[in-house]
Amino acid sequence: MSWTDERVETLKRMWAEGQSASQIAKELGGVTRNAVIGKVHRLGLSNRVAGGKEDEDDTPAAPATSAKPEPRPEPVARPEPAARAPERPAAPAAAPSNVTPLPLRKAIVPAGQPLPPQPSANEISPEALASVREVEKRARRLTLMELTERTCKWPIGDPATDDFWFCGLPSLPGKPYCEAHVGVAFQPMSARRDRRR
DNA sequence: CCCTGATTCGC
DNA sequence: GCGAATCAGG
């Protein structure tokens, strides 16, 4: 495979979006992450320091601290709540005027992509459920960005709160979930129709 | 171990 | 220019 304009464009776009070299390589196909990284460098778009020119001469007097303003391109938009109900009346006298600008309302979370099915109140074998509950105590609590093909992508908690993460335990080969979650995610169609009666 | 980007160097 | 091998980390 060669670096056609189109492929280079995809590379640029994804790199700008903060995708990893391996992800880009997978998307493009026919190249390895090394190829992608190599290309990125040749294109001169490796680590750009936001804000402008850096002298590329020698390094005369190195700044003590290499400031890293954390150039994380926020991948998820967080819409501002249009209107809210009457809010808490600020704390009265006792408290000092300690105005804490809390964002209150953790931001309306992502939920961007199609989420896997939730357990809900379906019929799931008690063992599977027990297994899941057990597993979720030991979940790695990964964030969306930390997921890979080999981590369980089962969402846990309420996406509208901080109490939300992904299982993250090792996923079964070829499956998006770990063993426990596969158990509740993929049910045989004949899984116990309604109980007798 | 899984992953990340950076660099080198023969092609 | 290309990218596998390697390096250096998390």
**What span, in angstroms and rounded, lies between the C-alpha atoms of A180 and A132?**
5
Token pair belonging to A109: 């979370």
Residue A41 is predicted with a pLDDT of: 93
Residue nearest to nucleotide C5 (CA to C1'): A34
CB A112 within 8 A of CB A76: yes
Q: How far is the CA of A67 from the C1' of B4 (A)?
A: 20
Q: How far is the CA of A19 from the C1' of B9 (A)?
A: 27
Q: Indicate if CB(A11) is under 7 A from strand C.
A: no
Residue A78 is predicted with a pLDDT of: 41
Residue nearest to nucleotide C1 (CA to C1'): A42
pLDDT tens, N- to C-terminus, chain A (197 residues)? 899 999 999 999 989 888 889 989 988 989 999 999 999 999 998 764 444 444 444 444 444 343 434 444 444 444 444 444 444 444 333 333 444 444 445 555 555 444 555 544 456 667 677 777 777 776 767 888 778 878 888 988 887 887 788 888 878 777 888 888 887 787 666 555 554 43
pTM for this prediction: 0.42
* Cα A126–Cα A131–Cα A136 angle in degrees, nearest 5: 130
Residue A157 is predicted with a pLDDT of: 83
Q: Indicate if CB(A7) is under 7 A from strand C.
A: no
Distance of CA A180 to the CA centre of its chain: 21
Beta carbons within 8 Å of A117's beta carbon, 6+ residues apart: A185
Q: Which residues of A147-169 are buried (b: 16+ CB within 10 A; e: fewer)?
A: beeebbbbbbeeeeeeebbbbbb
Residue A38 is predicted with a pLDDT of: 95
Q: How far is the CA of A69 from the C1' of B10 (A)?
A: 38
CB A177 within 8 A of CB A156: no
**What span, in angstroms and rounded, lies between the C-alpha atoms of A58 and A55?**
8
Which residues put CB within 7 Å of chain B, the nucleic strand?
A: A 19-23, 33-34, 37-38, 40-41, 46-47, 148-150
Secondary structure tally for chain A: helices H, strands E: 5, 2
* Cα A17–Cα A176–Cα A192 angle in degrees, nearest 5: 145
